[in-house]
Structure 1
Amino acid sequence: MATKTHASQEVGSSVEGFFKNIEEDLQYVTKKLEVEYLARQRTHHANPLELLQRLRVISQQIPAMRDDCESIRCAKQDLIDSCQSLMTSRTTLQRLSQMVDLDLENAHSRVVSEELVQMTNLWNKTTLNPHTA
């Protein structure tokens, strides 16, 4: 009977060892899954604190961007005004040259003039309705 008890103790301890190994393996797998999950969470989900900080930075940059946009709009308007003035002067020069029978216009200058008219028309449209650009 002593051998049976000794044999059952060996079987019991080997079963305990087996379960202990399984428990260690499960702990290892659990730890590995947690590490992978946390790594994935960091890459796929933003940190709310970081989002708030980014919003704060963007909020601080908005006034400067508004000023930049306004200066660009003013420069665009100055360019439109200059082009319109240039076109008016060019038309006046053409009329004067026709009065004295001078032909100052060639094919290249006609193309440039047409492109200038098209461009100022486009600029005027986008100035009137900035959402069409």
Structure 2
Amino acid sequence: MTKDTVSCACHCGTVRFEATLVDGVTTARRCTCSICRMRGAVAVSVALGGIRFRAGEDNLTRYTFNTGEAQHFFCKTCGIYTHHQRRSNPDEYGVNLACIEGMSPFDLDEVIVNDGENHPRDTGGPTRRAGVLRFERDV
């Protein structure tokens, strides 16, 4: 593995893969679209060819909605969202940061939240920022 390649797994460990991050965790983001709002995951960017499954690819289920462009993948056993092919950039995946071994969204001080309710593919404009999530430690 290179320094930009990370090991990932769903909660039950059935789905295991390696992902080569585009720019480390600096691409971490959330979105306000309906599915992102409900699943609550933080995603990091991986190029389309940057995921290599080690186990369980056949245990993934795919979910699409609305335009059907974004492809969201979940483990059939534990239900964890592992990754999705992005609508805003179909040449990239968003990988669930919490699936990266040794990582947690709570390791990040801030996460940018993009305005997915007013998606740039619908508005014709640039990606707009909806806000920032901050994590403050009590320790």
TM-score category (smaller protein): under 0.3
Bigger radius of gyration? 1
TM-score norm. by structure 2 comes to 0.18
TM-score norm. by structure 1 comes to 0.19
More helix by share: 1
